[in-house]
Amino acid sequence: MERIDDRHLEEIRHFLRESRKELGKLVPLVRKHYRWESLPEPKKARVYAVDGSRMARRLSGAIIYAVSASAVGDDLYYWNDIGALFPYSNADDRIRVHMDTLEKRMGALVGEMSDLVLMDGTISGALIRPPSYANSTTNQLYERHGRTLLEASLDFLDALNLKWREWKRELKKGVISGPSLLARGREGKSIFKILEEKGSRSIRGKIWWVVDAENLIVLFEYLEYLHALDRLLGNEIASIAKTFYRSDVIGTVAEREKLKKVPIMVDTPVVASLTDGSGYLRFSSKVGKKEALAQLILDLMEHGFFENLREILVLDGRKIEGARIRPAYVRFADGGLIYLLEVPEKQDFEETLAKILSVAEDEYVIPLEYAHHSVVIKKREFDAYVDAILSAIVGEDEAYLNFLRYGREPLE
């Protein structure tokens, strides 16, 4: 593209011109129903911030990927893993959930030695939108195996609790590098072999799991994610999202003012137009599409697991009505950007914000910035690492090459 096409310029200009007209109508209405509040005084606290990253390479017969999580506070903690998956459906979602699991596990572990854990993104997203592939897989397996699957899941979660102690010891070194999903097995042993050796009566001497082994691994990965999320929720936490598209404030104003037409606009430019000063605006989340928890998860809750998750979710039977989270739009410095802050209802909102302000500088939160920069997986380094692994493997046996070719090789 050598020059700007005037038609493209005019199209974007027209969009922004029309949006400004809507903005001019909305700002007075938002001021009528909402209050921009001053930031509290900072409160000194031990705060850790957590962020994650992922990178993948699609090969002819496999996807090789890396995930990492970093926690920054008084010290720096880092966890990374390299994994492989067959390139079939839901592979990308499983890689994302693997990264999320690592983030939340890291947050839970550093939460045991801090006053507040800051997560990048949102807490609510993790709570009210379970991965659709995990829900459907779980429901199908539970219909087929019933009580046997429940017992196997309980055994798996018990094994995770034991593994937690090991992870706590390892993290004291500062860096953990290696397999991070118990669901994928350990040292050449499948998760089913591990559970059998631990005396799982639902697995030992049984063959029910053999046909569904791959789907059971997917289920156990999901349980591992929920286990990390539940542990995280047991700490003082908050989340800050940099990118978000919410219309809760506009939707509420449209309802209260009985507007015939709800403006198609997100909250951010409207809230930013209220004032240039620092501060925050609290609001209530609008209920969107209601997702459902798998029955197996509810039954595991009845057996004493996921108690923190159960406490924070608003449930109507299996339906997720919402989460006990207080959201707010916040600006940390005059003229700064608007961020989305979420704090669990059980915590004091202003005190939590005061703790965050103790590590904020200018318009952002310093530990979150450092966590982001420390965790990013650089493509060049990832490619070099994967190339080294593949060369070593193919050097052992060239028959592996058919799994490891790269479709873009002729173009590079």
What pLDDT sits at residue 2? Answer: 59
Q: How far apart are CA 183 and CA 178, in angstroms?
A: 14
Distance CA(308)–CA(346), nearest Å, equals: 11
User: CA distances (Å), 236 to each of 308, 328, 330, 361, in order?
Assistant: 12, 17, 19, 21
Q: What is the pTM of this model?
A: 0.93
The pLDDT of residue 406 is: 62
Hunting for tokens 């299996």 — which residue is that? 318
Print pLDDT tens along the chain (412 aa).
457 778 888 899 998 898 899 999 999 999 999 999 999 999 999 999 999 999 998 888 889 999 999 999 999 999 999 988 876 778 899 999 999 999 999 999 999 999 999 999 999 988 888 888 888 999 999 999 999 999 999 999 999 999 999 999 999 999 999 899 999 998 889 999 999 999 999 998 888 999 999 999 999 999 999 999 999 999 999 999 999 999 999 999 999 999 988 888 999 999 999 999 999 999 998 776 678 899 999 999 999 999 999 999 999 999 999 999 999 999 999 999 999 999 999 999 999 999 999 999 988 999 999 999 999 998 899 989 888 988 888 888 787 787 777 655 543 5
Dig out the tokens for 240 from the structure. Answer: 């800050």
Cα–Cα distance measured from residue 365 to residue 393, given in angstroms and rounded to the nearest whole number:
43
Alpha carbons 361 and 357: distance in angstroms, whole number: 8
Question: To 10 degrees, the CA torsion angle through 145, 146, 147, 149?
Answer: 50
